[in-house]
């Protein structure tokens, strides 16, 4: 489900909603989503602790807890955090809080991963992450693309290369930079690399400002939809006219992911 802007939205809302509150009860409705430690330990070690801070690293949410541990949540495709909880049939873990309300963790497809760990920085996923676009200089970005023969779009989705961008925003950034998703990364001119880098950051920033894109399952912490989907210029617009040149938007599959682009103005 969510990419960097969606996870950032949830992070900011969690800070307002649950910071300083105690987790009084953990109800595990489907233990499949708990990757470590065991479901029993997970419950035992979380009950009674206070939420001290909320962090985000790429698409990973991290709760810093008063017992020195960290709860790391990756929402993957369909994970949701909802507060106050509503007891959806897709709720997999329900955290009862000291304010009498629940924080629900929902996940239709059961891809999401919850981990209670001593040190989030040691997580394999974290160790493999490339830099977020906001932590990169344009020069470094250009240098990173220089030796890459891979198609640019799959490269933008490679979290070990650059982290935080997912399928929607990769499509959007390439459209805005007028670059074909199939171009080998090292074939981009300096100007194109600069433009792509700028558009990628701007797309992510705009998406954060609108509290994310509600496509399929993503919602804000309150359960409300995010507002950015109506500003998408190319994602999910197959068969519709390009907003720049009116040519029909095409959909292809690149490394297994739906890829939308304008065959005329993205070159």
Partner DNA sequence: AATGGGACCTGCGCGC
Partner DNA sequence: TGCGCGCAGGTCCCAT
The set of catalytic residues is 2-3, 59, 257
What is the smallest separation between the CB atom of 150 and DNA, expressed in angstroms? Answer: 3
What is the smallest separation between the CB atom of 7 and DNA, expressed in angstroms? Answer: 9
What is the smallest separation between the CB atom of 233 and DNA, expressed in angstroms? Answer: 15
The tokens of 75 are what? 């929402």
What is the smallest separation between the CB atom of 163 and DNA, expressed in angstroms? Answer: 7
Residue listed under structure tokens 């499509």: 171
Contact 201, 162 (CB under 8 A): no
Choose between 52 and 76: whose C-beta lies nearer to DNA.
76
Choose between 259 and 266: whose C-beta lies nearer to DNA.
259
Q: Report residue 42: phi and psi, to 5°.
A: -55, -50
Distance between CA 70 and CA 145 in Å, rounded?
34
Choose between 90 and 179: whose C-beta lies nearer to DNA.
90
Binding residues vs DNA (CB under 7 A): 1-3, 6, 32, 58-59, 74, 76-77, 89-90, 108-111, 124-125, 128, 147-151, 154, 157, 159, 166-168, 212-218, 254-258
Contact 135, 91 (CB under 8 A): no
Choose between 85 and 212: whose C-beta lies nearer to DNA.
212
Q: How far is CA 215 from CA 65, 69, 232, in A?
A: 31, 33, 11
Sign of CA dihedral 203, 204, 209, 210: positive
């Amino acid at each position: 489900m969510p990419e960097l802007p969606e996870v950032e939205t949830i992070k900011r809302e969690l800070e307002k909603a649950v910071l300083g509150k105690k987790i009084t009860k953990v109800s595990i409705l489907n233990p499949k989503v708990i990757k470590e430690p065991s479901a029993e330990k997970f419950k035992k070690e979380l009950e009674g602790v206070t939420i001290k801070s909320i962090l985000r690293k790429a698409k990973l949410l991290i709760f810093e807890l008063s017992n020195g541990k960290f709860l790391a949540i990756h929402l993957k495709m369909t994970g949701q955090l909802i507060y106050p909880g509503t007891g959806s049939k897709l709720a997999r873990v329900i955290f009862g809080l000291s304010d009498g309300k629940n924080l629900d963790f929902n996940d239709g497809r059961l891809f999401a991963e919850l981990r209670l760990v001593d040190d989030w920085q040691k997580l394999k996923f974290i160790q493999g992450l490339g830099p977020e676009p906001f932590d990169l200089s344009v020069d470094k970005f250009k240098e990173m693309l220089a030796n890459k023969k891979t198609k640019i779009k799959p490269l933008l989705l490679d979290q070990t290369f650059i982290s935080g961008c997912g399928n929607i925003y990769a499509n959007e950034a390439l459209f805005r930079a007028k670059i074909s998703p199939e171009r080998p990364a090292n074939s981009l001119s300096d100007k194109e690399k600069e433009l792509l880098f700028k558009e990628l950051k701007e797309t992510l920033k705009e998406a954060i400002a609108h509290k994310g894109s509600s496509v399929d399952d993503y919602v804000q912490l309150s359960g409300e939809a995010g507002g950015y989907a109506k500003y998408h210029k190319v994602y999910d617009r197959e068969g519709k006219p390009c907003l720049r040149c009116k040519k029909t938007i095409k959909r292809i599959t690149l490394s297994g992911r739906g890829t939308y682009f304008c065959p005329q103005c993205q070159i």
